[in-house]
Structure 1
Amino acid sequence: MGHDVNGQIDFHRLGGVLRALALLASMSVTGQGIAAPPEMPWNMPAEHIGVATCAGSNCHGSARPFDDSPVLQNEYFTWQRKDAHSNAYKLLLTPESKRMAANLGIGKPEEATECLTCHSDYVPESKRGRRYSLSEGVGCEACHGGAEDYLGPHVTGNSHQENIADGLYPLVDPIDRARLCLNCHMGSTDKPIDHRMMGAGHPPLEFELDTFTNIQPPHFRVDADYKRRKPYAPPAKTWAIGQLIAAEQFLSGLRSDRMKAEGMFPELVFYDCNACHHPMRPPRWSEGAGGPLGPGKVRLADAYLVMSGHVIAALAPTLAASWQSALDALHFASQRSVGAIQSDAAALAGLVAQALDRLRDQSISDAQAIDLMRRIADSGVKGDAADFTAAKQMFYGLEALLAQVGASDKALAVRLNPPMDALFKTLDAQAQYDPSQMRAGLKQVQQILAQKAG
């Protein structure tokens, strides 16, 4: 059975062959408008009226899925019993969180804005309805938006587009979903996360849209009815868009006031943890870590940028040369000044916008997904796997791409499962991470894909 690399069951590869939600369709997603993304749920004017308003047995609180309904209607119980978001507030009550808050000098974590902004559905008191409660954690309205305006029409049977017009956040669009999730899973101006928090004990953040959507776990069923009512992106496209939006968010952070210099140092949350925090045993550095920079350099956390480079090379190839040169320039800028970083980040951000505009209405074929798998494996073997964070993103990407390809080529999935399982074991414990083992697994992936091409 597959797992995510933090030790949880991975619904991508349930049974070691395909993820539980492997889907066959290849419909393209119609965008909600990249130039004008929707307002984030916490910034919308609607009141947040609490999880209980969604949890009626005839709404989303059924103990079991309904067979004759277009939605499962047990979404509340899935969230409450299986979704880590429901425990987000409870984590603030643990000894570890209290110790972290004491290190930061912010008082009780369950009362600190720095913690509540991501560990609850945190909105101003003026937007908190009678049944709203911070202790519910990251509940329905934290992601779907305040229900004050859309709840009534939603109950009467509005279409999905009508619900969005009434204030429901458009989570079905992977572009908008990624932009929402990354506020907490990477940090943003609205929900700032800094190196000070990491130094106090907060675990490092990571994200991959397709994997994280599936291990949430999903509280929806993608069937023919779903695809009639809503846009749908298969795993490969969800992964590709997630990487580009993560790159967009990272570059936005570099260009914001969050990337400020304090004395000699810039904001280190934007730098690769593994550049400094690594076992002091051989090999301490190998070519490929940190792009064009040599050993001993504190390097930007470029995993999403590297993965986005593969997406661009495969799906928007006319941008590939410009992307690579701009990425190298950003790495060199990171050794000069914050101003230089922000200038070069702007060039990359423009390329991300162009790539998103092309990919928004483009399907990803199985052949393109296999090409992306080859590119990821090749880059890891050549050196990118030297970095643990980049290696995890390689694994997530290969999983998502295999989930799509394996749905129509089960023989390929069967052959790739053993090296994928080996890659997972290599990544399962960061302290014991060995890049040579990662490269060995990626070489097996290379060979299997080459045999298929032959």
Structure 2
Amino acid sequence: MNGRPSLAFCGIAATLALAAAVAGQPPSPPPPPSEPAAPQAGQYVGPASCASSNCHGAVRPRRVFDVLQNEHFTWLKGGDRHYTAWRVLFNDRSRIIARNLALPVPPAESPACLGCHGMAVAKEKQAIPLEIEDGISCEACHGPAGGWIREHTAQDWSHQRSVAAGMTDLRDLEVRSRLCLSCHLGAPGQTVDHELIAAGHPLLSFELDNYTEDMPAHWMPFRDKKRKEGLRDTHGVRAWAVGQAASFRAGLDQLARRARSPRWPELSEMSCDSCHHSLTEQRWKTVRNPERPGLPRWSPARWTVLRHLVTAVAPDARESLDAGVAQLAHQTARFSTPPAEVAETAERISRALGDVVPRLDQAAWDDADAKRLLLAISEDADSFAVADPAAAEQAFLAFNSLVARLQAKNPRRVRAGLAGVLETMKRELDNPYTWNPVRFKSQLAQLRKQAQGIP
């Protein structure tokens, strides 16, 4: 063998062609390559299908349409952590988690990890084989494109037709929130429980507006869009408000699923600092748990801030929701409560809150609303003094969204001192185990004083 078998093949082909010519018959042309089957609705076509420079693969943003056309490049090269989600499974922390859990396969092959760190799509739904190395790619969020990728650029093709053909309607804020939360909080088959956290997985924390803004933007800001008829801005305070309700509902739904499972009680539903705190600091002994001392309590994180939003748009619903949340906190703090009762209470609150979501979505969320909420949340210092670091974090993220709204049109409206208070809060929350509710209460008072000076 000389490493060039193709030359011998060419010689045989030439001999056959010559024989055919001598016989007076032209050689038969090779059969044309078979066309790949057209993708069907519900099938995934992979990120490369979106990567043409005339579609979404331009290196720089363009201003021809109401999309930037460099979305694929931003995802691939712009620092979007969804692209690197699969690569995380090769780092030291992932290997330690796998060892602690005694996983039978490496993290990059484990279904428990790939549910959120990769595109775990059944083969029959892949019109084109997906590359696991791509991490969380376009269709994880935008939906399988088989039913609309060829048509969605046509002038007479509407967004609604794409949604009907399988696109995920990310203009619907509750849909968008639920999609993000399916990994950033949990969903059936995709969950980070106490066992996984104890093995080394980071705590899950999420807020729709701030976490979206923390990613490199691959969407055109609403203010820059040419066609705004029938549309509204679904970022900023509106995203924060709807996201708060969607997050609390998703958490309630997950709690109900867990309560109906054989593994209840699930300790990741509880305030971490009920157990994980310094035994030498006297303030932890009785102040933090209004329920029975010595037992972990359910984390109030998402409700502590959300209730101010409910008061703003649905004051008639506040009293019954408060009562339901108090009942759920009482039930989960006592492991003797029948799990079915815990699940029923969580589901009832989730249904009731579902009626509030449209009101949150339709509210104006103007500067006056933002200032009122900024003052209301910062005034609620006593609630945060008996809450937990997760609740304080949600308050901090709320302040970030509200201040950004107030700064948007006139940055000078917001005093420099307010930014300083927010930075102090952020540093305080960087380590939940050193977070101090007394200091946080003082920071809230400082923030309120600064907010009162906003014209």
Indicate whether the TM-score tops 0.5: yes
Match of 2:81 among 84, 107, 114: 84
* 1:204 is aligned to 2:203: yes
* 1:54 is aligned to 2:50: yes
RMSD: 2.3
Alignment partners' CA distance in 2, 1:165 and 1:225: 24
* 1:356 is aligned to 2:353: no
Alignment partners' CA distance in 2, 1:359 and 1:67: 32
The 5-angstrom pairing of residues 308-347 of structure 1 reads 308-334=306-332, 335=334, 336-337=336-337, 338-347=339-348
Instruction: Indicate conservation of the 8 Å contact 2:274/2:297, yes or no.
Output: yes
Structure 2 portions without partners, runs of 5+: 1-39
The 5-angstrom pairing of residues 65-104 of structure 1 reads 65-81=61-77, 82-104=79-101
Q: Determine which structure has more spread, i.e. the larger CA radius of gyration.
A: 2
Q: Which residue of 2 aligns with 1:148?
A: 146
Partner SS for 1:221: coil
Q: Which residue of 2 aligns with 1:423?
A: 425
Q: Which residue of 1 aligns with 2:134?
A: 136
Query: Cα distance, 1:210 vs. partner?
Result: 0.3
Alignment partners' CA distance in 2, 1:136 and 1:208: 25
| Amino acid corresponding to residue 200 of structure 1 in structure 2 | A
Query: Cα distance, 1:360 vs. partner?
Result: 3.0
Cα deviation 1:229-256 (Å, max 9, x = unaligned): 7442352221111010011101111222
Q: Which residue of 2 aligns with 1:296?
A: 294
Q: Which residue of 1 aligns with 2:445?
A: 443
Instruction: Indicate conservation of the 8 Å contact 1:195/1:267, yes or no.
Output: yes
Q: Which residue of 1 aligns with 2:408?
A: 407
Q: Which residue of 2 aligns with 1:271?
A: 270
Q: TM-score, normalised by structure 1?
A: 0.84
Alignment partners' CA distance in 1, 2:385 and 2:186: 24
Instruction: Indicate conservation of the 8 Å contact 2:238/2:361, yes or no.
Output: no
Q: Which residue of 2 aligns with 1:164?
A: 163
Query: Cα distance, 1:298 vs. partner?
Result: 0.6
Instruction: Indicate conservation of the 8 Å contact 2:270/2:298, yes or no.
Output: yes
The 5-angstrom pairing of residues 361-400 of structure 1 reads 361-384=362-385, 386-400=387-401
The 5-angstrom pairing of residues 120-269 of structure 1 reads 120-157=118-155, 158-222=157-221, 223-225=224-226, 227-228=228-229, 230-257=231-258, 259-262=260-263, 266-269=265-268
Alignment partners' CA distance in 1, 2:109 and 2:288: 40
Q: Which residue of 2 aligns with 1:434?
A: 436
Alignment partners' CA distance in 1, 2:301 and 2:426: 18
Q: Which residue of 2 aligns with 1:33?
A: none
Cα deviation 1:198-257 (Å, max 9, x = unaligned): 111111101100011111222111123263474423522211110100111011112225
Alignment partners' CA distance in 2, 1:147 and 1:389: 37
Structure showing greater relative contact order (alpha-carbon pairs closer than 8 Å, 6 or more residues apart): 1
Q: Which residue of 1 aligns with 2:106?
A: 108
Amino-acid identity (%) = 30
Query: Cα distance, 1:281 vs. partner?
Result: 4.0
Instruction: Indicate conservation of the 8 Å contact 1:189/1:258, yes or no.
Output: no
Query: Cα distance, 1:156 vs. partner?
Result: 3.1
Instruction: Indicate conservation of the 8 Å contact 1:239/1:397, yes or no.
Output: yes
Q: TM-score, normalised by structure 2?
A: 0.83
Cα deviation 1:85-138 (Å, max 9, x = unaligned): 000000112222122112222221111111000001211121123341121100
Structure 1 portions without partners, runs of 5+: 1-43
Structure 1 segments of 4 or more deviating over 6 A? none
Query: Cα distance, 1:296 vs. partner?
Result: 3.0
Partner SS for 1:83: coil
| Amino acid corresponding to residue 304 of structure 2 in structure 1 | V
